[in-house]
Structure 1
Amino acid sequence: MAKIILVEDEINIASFIERGLSEFGHEVSVAYDGVEAWELIRKETFQLLIFDIIMPRMGGLELCKLYRQNYGFQSPVIMLTALGTTEDIVNGLDAGADDYLVKPFSFQELEARIKALLRRGNEEGLTGMLTCGDLTLNCITRRAERNGLEIDLTVKEYRLLECFMTHQGCMLTRSILLKDVWDKNFDTNTNVVDVYVNYLRAKIDKNFDDKLIHTVVGMGYIMEAH
């Protein structure tokens, strides 16, 4: 069971989700816009947050950024939205969301995502530092450092880097990365993996002679230090 805040301006959808989450044993607080949600968040601690993107007064992207700025990565955030293009997914994840669910969705899928994020959070509490060559990743603070240079990472950049660093020397296909990093199977035509690999390379490889993320043409990617 988890203490969850649901922020959804469509009353019928909010009622449906709240009822389902409650049946699974979660304690649910509901807000109908971002400003109302922020007032609740400042008063209480939630183990998981679910934000709709398009809402009155303050949208989900702004609310997510505000939460991350003030509370860091204390709890995972799931975005709910009717927008489903790769650009929309990237925008949501860049705002600090851990996952992204496109409407309409089944409640079983939402509950599966919640379980995965809560389980992952518990597992990460036991981890420490990962290293690859002169790159280190602190799994508690989610900060990376290479050759003394601190590197800030978005939520999904961190997830992707963590996946690479825990599977060093192994070729990871795009489908494996989608499953491990995003906990889902996107349309096979999506380029979200390539987009985020490029983001990550720009931060950890661009200014260094020794490249750590390598492309396996036609197959995927591999991380290793030479």
Structure 2
Amino acid sequence: MKKLLIVDDDLDLVDLVTRAFIQSGYDALGAANASDAIDATEVGLFDGAILDMRMPDGHGVDLCKQLRVNILPSVPVLFMTSRDDLDAALAGFSAGGDDHVIKPIKLGELVKRMERLLEITATENLATRRAGLISSVVERAGIAAHDFDDVAHPGSVRQ
């Protein structure tokens, strides 16, 4: 079961979003601020995070940067914001966010967006693992990369 971290200072919204994800088959944990979110990551791993842009003890952008560098480098991060402007979206993307929704949120859309981000992440992780496996097999077999060019482009002449 995928586990999500949901961070917003509006505890009613955290409860609503948490319940929506639980009903959709996820394990979800809510946090009211950046400090609580960091504490939650110290006791458990998460597969994704949903962050509010504005929190009483910091900015969601700063929390995202901190999570990306130290704690959750490769999990999808989706921002929730009441700001409906390009600057807010760009700030989230620059911090390492993968998507954003504008409040008031539509729960069905939020769940589907996170599901899609988790699918993309799983596909990327699988591709990375496969590439690593292929590289290690090639390395152990002593095959040089240029030998693959001969197979891919038969008849070509190496200089």
The residue aligned with 1:34 is: 34
Does the 8 A contact of 2:46 with 2:72 survive in 1?
no
Pair 1:106 & 2:112 matched = no
The residue aligned with 1:68 is: 68
CA RMSD of aligned residues (A): 1.6
- Distance across 2 between alignment mates of 1:49 and 1:25: 16
Q: 1:125 aligns to what SS in structure 2?
A: helix
Pair 1:121 & 2:121 matched = yes
Q: Tell me the alpha carbon deviations over residues 35-86 of structure 1, each in whole angstroms, 9 at most, x when there is no partner.
A: 1111111221100011101111122111001011113632111100101211
Distance 1:31 1:72, change over 3 A: closer
Give 5+ residue unaligned stretches, structure 2.
Answer: 133-159
Equivalent residues in 2 for 1:1-226 (5 A)?
1-71=1-71, 73-128=73-128
Answer 1 or 2: which has greater helix percent.
2
Percent identity between matched residues is 28
- Distance across 1 between alignment mates of 2:126 and 2:5: 25
- Distance across 2 between alignment mates of 1:5 and 1:126: 23
Does the 8 A contact of 2:6 with 2:51 survive in 1?
yes
- Distance across 2 between alignment mates of 1:39 and 1:72: 13
Give 5+ residue unaligned stretches, structure 1.
Answer: 129-138, 141-226
Larger Rg over CA atoms: 2
- Distance across 1 between alignment mates of 2:85 and 2:41: 29
Task: Calculate the TM-score normalised by the size of structure 1.
Answer: 0.55
Answer 1 or 2: which has greater strand percent.
1
